[in-house]
Chain A
Amino acid sequence: KQEVTQIPAALSVPEGENLVLNCSFTDSAIYNLQWFRQDPGKGLTSLLLIQSSQREQTSGRLNASLDKSSGRSTLYIAASQPGDSATYLCAVLISSGSARQLTFGSGTQLTVLP
């Protein structure tokens, strides 16, 4: 069964720092990997989606990489800001019988200190 792990569970950094969030998955047979942001008590906002055939995606200060063979993805946040404080979740899309399902990690709670 696919398992997704995110390390660290929590991270606190001063404003302006560049940082990396890690995601690992046990089965490399994925369709895509998606990074989400979740603010407290809110739903999920999609940040970046990387297809299994791609190695990275960029959006503004965010860059996500994917190494399918080693089962790893990283989310790089440049020049962090207090507004980046949130929980970041990664999820992989896999086959399950005739359907495709998202399997989530438990998230990294990021705090950017002003």
Chain B
Amino acid sequence: DGGITQSPKYLFRKEGQNVTLSCEQNLNHDAMYWYRQDPGQGLRLIYYSQIVNDFQKGDIAEGYSVSREKKESFPLTVTSAQKNPTAFYLCASSPMRTVGWYGYTFGSGTRLTVV
């Protein structure tokens, strides 16, 4: 079955450490997105990519970095510059040419906790 796989499900980060969250999709979607969700809040866009080797900052990109070397993969690195990284992170994808007609597909999320 086609879908989006995020790993790990739970991740713990020590102060000053960089960690990378994985997101893989087999839907042949061109665009991929990373969102952050805090308790009681909606999702906020961190980064998005519409094509391989290209990506754009979202609303809250500071302290995060991404890469898009393959169409299927869009890993997110939470750097030590992100001062409040504890949150639930969601990856999504969508087709590009007809994105207005098709919705987004989301992964099951990674919960990151600073210890």
Contact = CB atoms under 8 A, between A and B. Distances in A.
Most chain A beta-carbon contacts within 10 A, residue among B48, B103, B104: B103
Contact of A106 (B41, B90, B102, B111): B41
B45 A42 contact: no
Given A46-B104, A99-B56, A106 B99 contact: no
Contact of B99 (A89, A93, A107): A93
Contact of A104 (B43, B102, B107): B43
B108 interface: yes
How many interface residues does chain B have, given as a range?
20 to 34
Interface in A68-94: 89, 91, 93
B40 interface: yes
A60 interface: no
Interface string A93-113: 100010111101111000000
A114 interface: no
A49 interface: yes
A31 B42 contact: no
Contacts of B43: 89, 91, 102, 104
Contacts, number: 65
A93 B100 contact: yes
How many interface residues does chain A have, given as a range?
20 to 34
A43 B100 contact: no
A89 B104 CA distance: 13
B50 interface: yes
Nearest to B90: A43
Interface string B33-49: 10100001111110010
12 contacts: A43-B109, A49-B103, A89-B42, A91-B42, A91-B43, A91-B104, A99-B56, A102-B104, A104-B35, A105-B42, A106-B42, A107-B40
Given A46-B106, A107-B40, 8 more contacts: A43-B90, A43-B109, A45-B106, A46-B104, A51-B101, A99-B50, A101-B45, A104-B42
